[in-house]
């Protein structure tokens, strides 16, 4: 009896640890979700929030019903269904890194889970299974079969995750191969521990699963926020050369890379240019770019980009005062007239029309 109580307390504590790790991870990922220009961090944040909600539910359930709850039985229906959702969500992150902004192809991954959710909603009563003997006894019942089908669907998702380890696919990811292998191994470990808990009901597996899941999220957040922007991967000669060029590029001083992007490549002409996209171009991240520009120029990153644009406008008007203002601002990357006029007046001190008149 005392050992059972200890396991229940340990399970609740492990769930609380997982809740904390997921909550911190969700907050950090959401805060930095726009730095990479894709939606992978946003999806990871949603993934983490789902586990936060789920962990709160588990802690409350263990507290109110320590001996009679969905986790005291084998193949708890909604425990199994949520596990399948977690398996689907674990695929979205690596696929998002490969496909970047293309989101539509990922929707098919949720189809089996959505279909099963509708089936689960139609089942009026679930047979509780307290042992493998109970499972064998009720094996022919529809509500038991649908749970086994749900667990069986984990396998093709895991196989698909392993498929992403192929060199041709990994070379397209913006992360190191060592990290992705670790990601796959941790995902499989978490899945196996969940499997073990499903079919044994042993709370030891539940505790290990919660700890592994907390470590999983910690590693993901740590890597994505601190390391992912660095280039990685070297599986064939073509990619070796490309990676060598990238590595040589990012090894140069950041200010030098920023100047090359703004002065030589004139990326400020791009209407969609933002601090986030400039950071990607320079192979760095937003805080470093902001701090570097501020240190070197005294201006904020956005102000420095706007000054590049306005300097170009002034130069063009000096060369040809009769030039159409709309046209020259368009060339400089502006698409909104009010923004262009406001920036010009703030930086130059007069309106574009007044400046042009002074150059005639």
Ordered per-residue pLDDT tens for the chain, 360 residues: 445 667 667 777 777 787 788 888 888 888 877 766 566 777 778 878 887 887 777 667 666 665 555 556 788 787 788 888 887 877 777 776 655 444 555 667 788 888 999 999 999 888 888 788 888 899 889 999 998 998 888 888 778 777 766 655 554 555 556 667 777 888 888 888 877 877 777 778 878 888 888 888 887 787 777 655 433 333 344 334 334 444 455 567 889 989 999 998 899 998 888 888 888 888 888 888 999 999 999 999 999 999 999 999 999 999 988 888 888 998 898 877 888 999 999 999 999 999 988 887
Are 280 and 213 contained in the same domain?
no
Q: Which domain holds residue 271?
A: 252-358
Indicate the residue among 226, 261, 288 that finishes a domain. Answer: 226
- Do 198 and 305 lie in a common domain? no
Same domain, 77 and 205: yes
Contacts 24+ apart (CB under 8 A), 219-226: 219/182, 219/183, 219/186, 220/25, 220/44, 220/93, 220/183, 221/24, 221/25, 221/28, 221/29, 221/44, 223/175, 223/179, 224/29, 224/40, 224/41, 224/44, 225/28, 225/29, 225/32
> Same domain for 177 and 262?
no
Q: Is residue 67 part of a domain?
A: yes
Both 256 and 214 in one domain: the answer is no
In terms of Cβ atoms closer than 10 Å to its own Cβ (0-12, 13-18, 19+), residue 307 is middle
Q: Do residue 262 and residue 202 come from a single domain?
A: no
Q: Tell whether 247 is covered by a domain.
A: no
Quick one: which of 44, 56, 54 has its CA closest to 78? Answer: 54
The rounded distance, in Å, linking the Cα atoms of 143 and 130 is: 15
Q: What is the pLDDT of residue 291?
A: 92
Last residue of a domain, one of 211, 226, 241: 226
Question: Does some domain include residue 245?
Answer: no
**pLDDT, position 344:** 94
In a domain? residue 239: no
Residue-level pLDDT at 281: 86
Residues 199 and 348 in one domain: no
Looking at the structure, do residues 181 and 269 belong to the same domain, yes or no? Answer: no
Assess whether 208 and 97 both reside in one domain. Answer: yes
Residues 290, 287: Cα–Cα separation, whole Å = 5
Identify whether residues 34 and 69 lie together within a single domain: yes
**Domain of 321: which CATH number?**
1.10.10.60
Question: Is the domain of 168 the same as that of 312?
Answer: no
Distance CA 354, CA 282 (A): 36
Q: Based on the structure, what is the number of domains in the chain?
A: 2
pLDDT of residue 2: 44
Per-residue model confidence (pLDDT) at position 66: 58
243 in any annotated domain: no
Q: Looking at the structure, tell me whether residues 201 and 308 fall in a common domain.
A: no
CATH number of the domain enclosing 212: 1.20.1070
- Asked if residue 244 belongs to a domain, the reply is no
In a domain, 275, yes or no: yes
- 22: which 2 tokens? 């997921």
* Last residue of one domain, picked from the residues 226, 261, 286: 226
* Position 233 in a domain: no
- pLDDT given at position 253: 87
């Amino acid at each position: 009896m005392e050992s059972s109580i200890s396991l229940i307390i340990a399970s609740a504590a492990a769930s609380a640890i997982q809740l904390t790790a997921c909550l911190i991870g969700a907050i950090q990922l959401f805060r930095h979700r726009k730095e990479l220009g894709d939606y992978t961090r946003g999806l990871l944040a949603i993934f983490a929030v789902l586990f936060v909600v789920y962990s709160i539910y588990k802690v409350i359930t263990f507290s109110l019903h320590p001996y009679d709850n969905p986790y005291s039985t084998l193949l708890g229906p909604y425990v199994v269904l949520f596990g399948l959702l977690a398996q689907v969500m674990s695929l979205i992150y690596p696929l998002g890194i490969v496909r970047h902004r293309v989101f539509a192809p990922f929707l098919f991954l949720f189809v089996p889970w959505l279909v099963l959710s509708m089936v689960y909603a139609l089942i009026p009563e679930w047979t509780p299974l307290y042992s493998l003997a109970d499972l064998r006894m009720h094996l022919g019942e529809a509500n038991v079969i649908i749970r086994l089908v749900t667990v069986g669907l984990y396998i093709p998702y895991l196989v698909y995750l392993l498929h992403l380890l192929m060199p041709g696919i990994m070379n397209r990811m913006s992360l190191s191969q060592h990290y992705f292998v670790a990601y796959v191994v941790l995902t499989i470990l978490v899945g196996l521990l969940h499997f073990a808990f499903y079919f044994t009901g042993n709370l030891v597996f539940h505790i290990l699963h919660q700890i592994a899941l907390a470590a999983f999220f910690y590693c993901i957040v740590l890597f994505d926020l601190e390391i992912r922007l660095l280039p990685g991967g070297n599986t064939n000669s073509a990619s070796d050369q490309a990676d060598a060029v990238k590595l040589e590029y990012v090894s140069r001083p950041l200010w030098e890379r920023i100047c090359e992007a703004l002065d030589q490549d004139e990326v400020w002409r791009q209407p969609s240019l933002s601090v986030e996209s400039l950071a990607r171009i320079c192979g760095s991240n937003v805080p470093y770019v902001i701090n570097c520009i501020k240190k070197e120029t005294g201006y904020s990153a956005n102000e420095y980009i706007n000054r590049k644009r306005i300097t170009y406008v002034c130069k063009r008007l000096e060369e040809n005062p009769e030039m159409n203002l709309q046209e020259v601002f368009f060339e400089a990357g502006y698409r909104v007239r009010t923004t262009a006029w406001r920036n010009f007046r703030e930086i130059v001190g007069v309106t574009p029309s007044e400046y042009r008149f002074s150059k005639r």
